[in-house]
A and B are shown apart, each in its own frame.
Chain A
Amino acid sequence: MAKVREEMFFFDGGRGKRLLGFLHAPAGARVGLVYCHPFAEERNQSQGVAVRAARRLAEADCAVLRFDFSGCGDSEGSLADADAGEWIAEIGAALAELRARTGLAKVGVWGLRMGANLAARYADGRTDLSLGVFWQPMPDLKIAMTQFLRQKLGTQMTANAANAAAVAATPAAPAVSVKSLVQQLADGETVEVMGYPLRQRLYASLLAGDAPFASRRFAFPACLVAFGEDEAPPESMRRIHEALVPAHPGLALVHAREIPFWDRYWRWEGPAAAEETARWVATAA
């Protein structure tokens, strides 16, 4: 097994912003990836799998630089002040950091959920990347933000034996809707969702610069990894793949036969996805 150097450091993400980076650098690395984490609590919930997958990739001679976007994780700043355009630039800064620390010429992007969408937005049309791995990208970010805001809403629960006590004990929820939350953002308010402070700057910039994932154009070998226990990959992923294939005949669709891990805690092992990704990277590199 190649010896892997691991180091954690702060680096300049542009505009003087200090971003937290963690590098897995195998001695015999031939290719490197910058990992773009998903949004809000998904970053926290998916970290166990991401770290283990990065270590698996490093064992397969692929260097990985994981980093936190500004306002996330241990990077500088507050989510309340974040901007998607700056996040896109930060991917570029992370790639430069990966090149500088490893000397690698062949580098690419790897993202999960919204991280995959942001990685694709960065990589769209670029000719200086060598590969791209996209774990369960979303069709577009409007869906992502609606899902996120919906978490704040009081829910109408159907009582069953397990929930009965809790539902009965739940105080009356305020009557809000996603639409009203979007209006609050537009009015300049901070909308706190599960402890994450969202403001209009980030919300608007995520949506304004977005395009359907299926409309992106990659000038490098790319791989979609879909998660699901069913026989076939989830329909949304199949649709994305079908839409991209005409412009990307070699686009791989890998099906990791396991349940999603980014929406729950303490699911740290994602062996199928890590193995499949390592295998694909070895062929693409």
Chain B
Amino acid sequence: MEEAVAFPAAGKQLFGILHRPDSPARKDAALLMIVGGPQTRVGSHRSYTLMARDLCDRGIPVLRFDYEGLGDSEGAFVGFSEAGPSLEAAVGFLAGRMGPEARIVLWSLCDGSAACALQAARWKPPVAGLILCNPYVHSAQGQAKAYLKHYYIRRVMDPSFWKKLLSFRVNPVTVLLSFTGLVAKASARPSDGGGTNPAKAGTGPAAVATATGSAATGGSAATGALPAASSPTTGPSPTSASPTPPSPAAAKPSSPTAPAVAEGVPGTDPDGLPEKVMEGLEGYRGPLELILSGDDLTAREFLDLYRTRGTAARRKPARTETALLPGADHTFTAAAWKRAACDATAAAWDRILDRGKEAR
């Protein structure tokens, strides 16, 4: 059963959908879906709608909602780093619906996960645990490193890359320039601009996502180009699989052929985002579950930082579980990837709530 709901947050009305299973798997427990993107509660390719329905079919109540200023909700969007009031209001609303014994699991994707981590100090009961999918911890340096390590170098080992180069389907000079540019960026010290630059348009999840996509669209091979790391004028690709939306040139012939430039995602990345996200996770004492897509540079960037910082060790004794979804892209575009993400979510949900039961 799906219910249209509305609740206030800082004087604004937020709208969402509450999915209520006929036979809930667990009494009083519910999952709050904190979307990334920034997208609406429906998401690219209806990702959040479809995954919420899948989870509900498994007996998990789910609330997904529009942030202030997005989708149907009132107000102005101020960016994920300021989403605290929206998140707190959503948790309060859902807990109110579940009753005094409510246990709320926070599920999030991309910058939704960053928002969750940045607000980690708030997450006391009824919040029972966090499930973070492909968390966004962008920095120019981190992105370049992830790109080189996980994408470019892997492809250099692939015979099809050499076939393209030798058949002049790519310009070897421009490939070399682009490669050396990435190496320079990856080697930059943070003071050399390796960190985020809030003044640049499009440094939010949009610009990052243009480099993450496996442009695989629902299982088909990569389409469209991936831009050089950190270019603020790259295509406005969101956190969906497709790196570029349908270009005007592909539209009817008389359409204006305006270049697909990044409009600049409203709200900027806070300074030192990667460190702040990790600090938030390290300070969070509840159960933490990670779901990471195999073909997603954002996830790779996060995992690299998570490992080099030793965040898992710093969280002891609270363990972190990690599920890897081979082949999946950033937003689980293909139906099979959505199912895999829901499988991993359901397993994480059980672990979080079983742990909570033991603790009581």
Closest to A159 in B: B170
Task: Please tell me if the beta carbons of B252 and A139 are within 8 angstroms of each other in the complex.
Answer: yes
Partner of A164, one of B151, B177, B211, B335: B177
The segment from A118-126, A144-152, A271-279 found at the interface with B is: A144-152
Task: Given the known inter-chain contacts A6-B13, A265-B245, please indicate yes or no for A169 contacting B4, CB distance below 8 A.
Answer: no
The segment from B124-132, B215-223, B308-316, B339-347 found at the interface with A is: B215-223
Task: Please list 16 pairs of residues, one from A and one from B, whose beta carbons are closer than 8 Å in the complex, sorted by A's number.
Answer: A6-B13, A6-B74, A47-B40, A73-B49, A151-B242, A154-B220, A159-B170, A159-B175, A164-B171, A167-B169, A170-B215, A170-B221, A176-B220, A195-B218, A234-B254, A266-B264
Partner of A260, one of B40, B226, B256, B262: B256
Task: Please tell me if the beta carbons of A194 and B252 are within 8 angstroms of each other in the complex.
Answer: no
Task: Given the known inter-chain contacts A152-B217, A263-B245, A266-B266, please indicate yes or no for A169 contacting B251, CB distance below 8 A.
Answer: no
A160 to B226, CA, bound (A): 11
Task: Please tell me if the beta carbons of A194 and B174 are within 8 angstroms of each other in the complex.
Answer: no
Smallest beta-carbon distance A34→chain B, Å? 16
Return chain A residues, CB-CB under 8 Å to B260.
263-264
Task: Given the known inter-chain contacts A236-B252, A264-B245, please indicate yes or no for A259 contacting B220, CB distance below 8 A.
Answer: no
Smallest beta-carbon distance A76→chain B, Å? 8
Return chain B residues, CB-CB under 8 Å to A127.
none
Task: Given the known inter-chain contacts A73-B42, A163-B227, A195-B241, please indicate yes or no for A168 contacting B72, CB distance below 8 A.
Answer: no
Interface status of B358 (Cβ within 8 A of chain A): no
Interface status of A1 (Cβ within 8 A of chain B): no
Task: Given the known inter-chain contacts A155-B223, A164-B175, A168-B155, please indicate yes or no for A193 contacting B44, CB distance below 8 A.
Answer: no
Interface set of A (CB-CB < 8 Å, partner B): 6-10, 18, 20, 22, 41-42, 44-45, 47-48, 51, 72-74, 79, 138-139, 143, 147-148, 150-157, 159-174, 176, 192-197, 227-230, 234-237, 239, 259-260, 263-268
Task: Please tell me if the beta carbons of B170 and A168 are within 8 angstroms of each other in the complex.
Answer: yes
Smallest beta-carbon distance A269→chain B, Å? 9
Return chain A residues, CB-CB under 8 Å to B258.
229, 259-260
Interface status of B247 (Cβ within 8 A of chain A): yes
Return chain A residues, CB-CB under 8 Å to B255.
228, 234, 236, 260
Task: Please tell me if the beta carbons of B263 and A194 are within 8 angstroms of each other in the complex.
Answer: no
Task: Please tell me if the beta carbons of B247 and A74 are within 8 angstroms of each other in the complex.
Answer: no
Return chain A residues, CB-CB under 8 Å to B199.
none
Task: Please tell me if the beta carbons of B224 and A155 are within 8 angstroms of each other in the complex.
Answer: yes
Return chain B residues, CB-CB under 8 Å to A227.
256
Task: Please tell me if the beta carbons of A72 and B170 are within 8 angstroms of each other in the complex.
Answer: no
Partner of B237, one of A48, A51, A265: A265
Task: Please tell me if the beta carbons of A166 and B44 are within 8 angstroms of each other in the complex.
Answer: no
Task: Please tell me if the beta carbons of B245 and A164 are within 8 angstroms of each other in the complex.
Answer: no
A228 to B13, CA, bound (A): 34
A173 to B70, CA, bound (A): 35
Smallest beta-carbon distance A148→chain B, Å? 8
Interface status of B198 (Cβ within 8 A of chain A): no
Closest to B239 in A: A265
Task: Please tell me if the beta carbons of A172 and B177 are within 8 angstroms of each other in the complex.
Answer: no
Return chain A residues, CB-CB under 8 Å to B236.
264-267
Smallest beta-carbon distance A20→chain B, Å? 7
A18 to B17, CA, bound (A): 13
Return chain B residues, CB-CB under 8 Å to A166.
211, 225-228
Partner of A165, one of B17, B152, B264: B152
Task: Given the known inter-chain contacts A18-B2, A154-B223, A171-B221, please indicate yes or no for A194 contacting B45, CB distance below 8 A.
Answer: yes
Return chain A residues, CB-CB under 8 Å to B334.
192, 195
Closest to A150 in B: B250
Closest to B329 in A: A195
Task: Please tell me if the beta carbons of A167 and B170 are within 8 angstroms of each other in the complex.
Answer: yes
* From A48, A171, A239, residue with most partner B Cβ within 10 Å: A171
Q: Give the contacts of B57-81 with A (CB-CB under 8 A).
A: 70-72, 74, 77
Task: Please tell me if the beta carbons of B165 and A228 are within 8 angstroms of each other in the complex.
Answer: no
* From A155, A176, A195, A239, residue with most partner B Cβ within 10 Å: A195
A260 to B17, CA, bound (A): 29
Partner of B151, one of A44, A169, A235: A169
Extra A-B contacts (11), CB below 8 Å, given A74-B41, A172-B163: A45-B245, A74-B17, A148-B246, A154-B223, A161-B178, A167-B170, A168-B152, A228-B255, A266-B263, A267-B263, A268-B266
A41 to B242, CA, bound (A): 11
Partner of B147, one of A154, A162, A165, A266: A165
Interface status of B43 (Cβ within 8 A of chain A): yes
Task: Please tell me if the beta carbons of A162 and B254 are within 8 angstroms of each other in the complex.
Answer: no
Partner of A154, one of B44, B174, B222, B335: B222
Task: Please tell me if the beta carbons of B218 and A193 are within 8 angstroms of each other in the complex.
Answer: yes
Task: Please tell me if the beta carbons of B252 and A143 are within 8 angstroms of each other in the complex.
Answer: yes
Partner of B45, one of A195, A237, A267: A195
Task: Given the known inter-chain contacts A138-B252, A264-B236, A266-B266, please indicate yes or no for A51 contacting B71, CB distance below 8 A.
Answer: yes
Return chain B residues, CB-CB under 8 Å to A41.
44-45, 240, 242, 245-246
Task: Please tell me if the beta carbons of B218 and A147 are within 8 angstroms of each other in the complex.
Answer: no
Interface status of B26 (Cβ within 8 A of chain A): no
Task: Please tell me if the beta carbons of A193 and B4 are within 8 angstroms of each other in the complex.
Answer: no
A148 to B224, CA, bound (A): 15
Task: Please tell me if the beta carbons of A194 and B240 are within 8 angstroms of each other in the complex.
Answer: yes
Return chain B residues, CB-CB under 8 Å to A265.
206, 236-238, 245, 263
Interface status of B189 (Cβ within 8 A of chain A): no
Task: Please tell me if the beta carbons of A174 and B251 are within 8 angstroms of each other in the complex.
Answer: no
Closest to A8 in B: B4
B1-30 interface code vs A (CB 8 A; 1 in, 0 out): 010101000000101010000000000000
* From B15, B218, B219, B248, residue with most partner A Cβ within 10 Å: B218
